[in-house]
Amino acid sequence: MILVTGATGHIGGAVVRGLLALSHEVAALVRNPEAARRRLPRQTALRVGDYEDAPALKQAFTGIDELVLISSDGDAGAIQRHHANAIEAARAADVRHITFTSIIDVGETSPFYYAPAYRDAEHRLANCGVPSTILRCGLYSDFILDTWLTPALASGELALPAGHGMMAPVSRDDVAAAITAVAAMPDKSRALYSITGGQVMDFDEIATCYAETTGQPLRYRPCSASEYLASATARLDEPWPEAFATLCASIAEGRYASASSDFSALTDRPAESFKAFLARVFS
């Protein structure tokens, strides 16, 4: 039995559907069973629990062989606590293996707001006694579109403190396909994968790609962190201005600048390019 967390979300839901299509027995960790019932295939077993509720997590994970732990969201303190609770509950419930979605940029010197929380989860996984596989994921194409490109349309200018740093965007659907492949794999001896798109590009190229696909003018302008923070704090709640500004700093430092072949090796196909992703979304 494979249990998927975050199953009412984009990636978790796609992993549930992918594993069911491969004829696995699948359970989903959900907070609201009625809402989950509407969103997930009928044959999905529902286990109820919140990442904040450690006893409920242990009960939900009882009898589970494989835990697919989709990373949580919120401020860094909450994320760190949620992952710690889930990993400890998996250990206490005698789960046999954990697949976890981490991030590419977990370096000790990373400026990224979330890097310490993900380092903490990776450290806990290495020391909890349950074998695990970590998928370090690059930036989601969907995240780049929703967080940065769409809001920039009104002005036609994408101003970010990312310099000419490169990244290899990967779609959430492809991340889900990679997680599904790892969770379904009988041999889980490999401990670490990097899940990125196949091509690296900077925000100049991303903005050009967007303008060509949609016909809407968009131009990238590198700006300072203080300029970005001034405009982001006027629009966004905490912790997003700091989280996004430090993510841009990390991109500028080249921490997202490599494309891995792990996705193709896992799925036997190339990752969807950013251009193809946009064409799909705007078709």
Ligand X SMILES: NC(=O)c1ccc[n+]([C@@H]2O[C@H](COP(=O)([O-])OP(=O)(O)OC[C@H]3O[C@@H](n4cnc5c(N)ncnc54)[C@H](OP(=O)(O)O)[C@@H]3O)[C@@H](O)[C@H]2O)c1
Q: What length does the chain have?
A: 283
Looking at this protein, which amino acid is placed at residue 68? Answer: V
Contact between 121 and ligand X per CB under 6 A:
no
Q: Interacting stretch for ligand X, rule CB under 6 A, among 64-72, 180-188, 217-225, 267-275?
A: 64-72
Q: Interacting stretch for ligand X, rule CB under 6 A, among 120-128, 136-144, 211-219, 248-256?
A: 136-144
Instruction: Using CB under 6 A, count the residues that bind ligand X.
Output: 23
Contact between 73 and ligand X per CB under 6 A:
yes
Contact between 222 and ligand X per CB under 6 A:
no
Contact between 18 and ligand X per CB under 6 A:
no
Instruction: Select 161 or 169, whichever has its Cβ closest to ligand X.
Output: 169
Which of 44, 72, 171, 180 is close enough to bind ligand X by CB under 6 A? 72
Rounded to whole angstroms, the Cα distance separating 217 from 72 reads 34
Contact between 31 and ligand X per CB under 6 A:
yes
Contact between 88 and ligand X per CB under 6 A:
no
Rounded to whole angstroms, the Cα distance separating 119 from 227 reads 29
Contact between 6 and ligand X per CB under 6 A:
yes
Rounded to whole angstroms, the Cα distance separating 55 from 180 reads 27
Among 113, 204, 99, which Cα is nearest to 158's? 204
Contact between 146 and ligand X per CB under 6 A:
no
Extract the tokens encoding 153.
């349309």
Q: 239, exposed or middle or buried, with CB in 10 Å at 0-12, 13-18, 19+?
A: middle
Rounded to whole angstroms, the Cα distance separating 172 from 248 reads 20
Q: Interacting stretch for ligand X, rule CB under 6 A, among 44-52, 60-68, 205-213, 275-283?
A: 44-52
Rounded to a whole number of angstroms, the minimum distance from the CB of residue 192 to ligand X is 16
Which of 1, 119, 143, 258 is close enough to bind ligand X by CB under 6 A? 143
Contact between 106 and ligand X per CB under 6 A:
no
Instruction: Select 52 or 212, whichever has its Cβ closest to ligand X.
Output: 52
Looking at this protein, which amino acid is placed at residue 267? Answer: T
Rounded to whole angstroms, the Cα distance separating 93 from 128 reads 12
Phi-psi region of 27 (alpha: psi -120 to 50; beta: other; left: phi over 0): beta
What's the N-to-C CA distance of the chain in angstroms? 37
Q: Interacting stretch for ligand X, rule CB under 6 A, among 58-66, 133-141, 190-198, 249-257?
A: 133-141
Instruction: Select 168 or 225, whichever has its Cβ closest to ligand X.
Output: 168
Buried b (16+ CB within 10 A) or exposed e, 100-132: bbbbbbbeeebbbbbbebbbbbbebbeebebeb
Residues 182-221, one symbol each (x = binds ligand X by CB under 6 A, - = not), give: ----------------------------------------
Contact between 75 and ligand X per CB under 6 A:
no
Q: Which residues bind ligand X (CB under 6 A)?
A: 6-12, 31-32, 50-52, 70-73, 82, 103, 137, 139-140, 143, 172
